[in-house]
């Protein structure tokens, strides 16, 4: 975690499974670096592999959620990425940072994977705005009739709505916006991951930010108070339309932290001030963890293809 003086303090390795390690922060954690863990893993150290994957698992998962919307679909995507990472670990030669190598694999996967779930229905900002407008303004449900506190339901509506907006961006824009705006990745690091120049990364990010800002400014009461759309007024309509499942909330009861708690913010200059007005909405999103992440990791490491690879490292 980042201290007020800009230095970094991390817990001991035994607590890495419960503390969010930010792989995009330039200062390394105390103890073994990613490069150290890779070497230990290549020497057959399963604990090193577990530590290495746990450092990055939640970040890959949170990228995946913003690419496919559904946490359940994101778990599948995350496993697909991490299987590739583990089975290709022997090919990592240290010519770049392990972070760059891993997130290039993740980026290539999410940009080229088969569409699934919510992503199968292509949505423009115009379509999305029309869908929100078709949702009637209603009073919140009677708190005695729902199994969840009303503020949690409103938060679920807000997060679902703003998370869904990301699907109006094309995949590359969505990934660049997730890395650069939501997770605060610098232009240089983002360019390395996407294999483009830092200038091109920033230009693509600026276009995505502008598109989202324009939509929010025209549609959302959270960004522009003159807009009539209000989360509490749409919550009941989202429930009745099936966008919110009262028995299985997707976002509002699963997280320990918010993105702003774990991801640094990158300030890119005064020319971006207009688009920065909406940034807080997305950095208020929950930083999700895969369900039962330790068990999930252990199941991953028991896969036949992974075990065969690990024996060869």
According to the model, what pLDDT value does residue 16 have?
37
Q: Judging by beta carbons within 10 Å of its beta carbon (0-12, 13-18, 19+), is residue 26 exposed, middle or buried? A: exposed
Segment 246-268, tens digit of pLDDT: 999 999 875 678 999 999 888 77
Helix, strand, coil % in the chain, rounded to nearest 5 = 60, 5, 35
Task: Please provide the average confidence, as pLDDT, over all residues in the chain.
Answer: 87
Helices marked H in 113-253 — which ranges? 125-134, 150-165, 171-177, 187-194, 198-219, 231-240
pLDDT tens digits, one per residue of 85-129: 998 998 998 889 999 999 999 999 999 999 988 998 889 999 999
* β 257-258/286-287 pair status: antiparallel
CA–CA distance, 93 with 114 (Å, rounded to integer): 29
Quote the tokens at residue 222: 């959270």
Which pTM value belongs to this model? 0.89
pLDDT of residue 254: 59
How far apart CA 262 and CA 284 sit, in angstroms, is 11
Q: Are 193 and 150 in contact (CB under 8 A)?
A: no
């Amino acid at each position: 975690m980042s201290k007020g003086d800009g230095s970094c303090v991390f817990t001991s390795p035994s607590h890495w499974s419960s503390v969010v390690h930010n792989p995009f922060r330039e200062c390394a954690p105390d103890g073994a670096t990613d490069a150290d863990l890779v070497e230990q893993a290549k020497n057959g150290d399963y604990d090193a592999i577990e530590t290495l994957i746990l450092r990055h698992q939640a970040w890959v998962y949170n990228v995946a959620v913003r690419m496919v919307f559904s946490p359940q679909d994101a778990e599948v995507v995350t496993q697909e990425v991490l299987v590739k990472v583990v089975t290709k670990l022997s090919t990592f030669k240290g010519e770049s940072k392990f972070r760059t190598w891993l997130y290039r694999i993740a980026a290539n996967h999410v940009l080229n994977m088969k569409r699934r779930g919510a992503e199968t229905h292509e949505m423009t900002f115009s379509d999305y705005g029309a869908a929100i407008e078709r949702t009637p303004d209603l009073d919140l449900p009677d708190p005695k009739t729902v199994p969840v506190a009303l503020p949690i339901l409103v938060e679920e509506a807000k997060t679902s709505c703003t998370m869904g907006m990301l699907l109006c961006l094309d995949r590359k824009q969505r990934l660049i916006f997730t890395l650069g705006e939501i997770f605060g990745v610098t232009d240089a690091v983002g360019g390395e991951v996407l294999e483009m120049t830092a200038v091109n990364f920033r230009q693509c990010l600026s276009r995505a930010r502008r598109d989202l800002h324009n939509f929010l400014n025209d549609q959302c009461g959270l960004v522009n108070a003159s807009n009539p759309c209000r989360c509490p007024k749409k919550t009941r309509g989202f429930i009745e339309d099936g966008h919110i499942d009262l028995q299985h909330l997707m976002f509002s009861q699963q997280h320990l932290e918010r993105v702003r708690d774990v991801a640094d913010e990158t300030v890119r200059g005064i020319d971006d001030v207009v688009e920065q007005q909406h940034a807080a909405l997305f950095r208020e999103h929950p930083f999700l963890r895969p369900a039962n992440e330790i068990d999930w990791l252990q199941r991953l490491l028991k896969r036949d293809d992974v075990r065969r690879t690990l024996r060869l490292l």
